[in-house]
Amino acid sequence: MAIPITHVLSHWGQAFPFCSMSANEFYSSVESIAESHEFSDVKVEHVKNKEGGLLSASGEYLQIRHKELVFEVSATQFGKNFYLTSWLYETEGTLRQLLKFAKAGEYLSERAAKRTFSKPIRKPCS
């Protein structure tokens, strides 16, 4: 099932020359690390995403989800090289879906989609 993406936060790709590892080995390692940290409200699962349009091939990704934040990583072996690509994005959460039906929903939904750091402390640290 496709997840509605409201904001792509990061996209990254990296080749590791002469590194030999299967995607399943990599995914298992990441899943073990996530389990060992005992994160609350984090869901880790394998998903298939279309690489393009309706008739394009599907790629397998490891998806790590926490509320509206989703991190997906794809691992593949190609010849003597190992490749990783990742996407970090926000999804449309329940609150944003409800705001769409409100009169000021578009404005509030747009504001809710923008994650920011908290306001800086005004006084200097001593």
What are the domain boundaries of the chain?
Answer: 5-112
| pLDDT tens for the chain, residues 1 to 126 | 556 677 788 899 999 999 989 999 999 999 999 999 998 889 999 998 877 666 777 888 999 999 888 999 999 998 999 999 999 988 876 666 666 666 565 666 566 555 544 444 444 444
Q: What is the pLDDT of residue 116?
A: 47
- In the prediction, which pLDDT does 125 show? 46
pLDDT value of position 117: 44
Chain-centroid distance, C-alpha 46? 12
pTM: 0.67
For 63-93, give one letter per residue: b (16+ CB within 10 A) or e.
bbbeebebbbbbbebeeeebebbbbbbbbbb
> What is 5-112's CATH number, 1.10.287, 3.30.310, 1.10.357, 3.40.50?
3.30.310
Residue 40: burial class (beta carbons within 10 Å; 0-12, 13-18, 19+): exposed
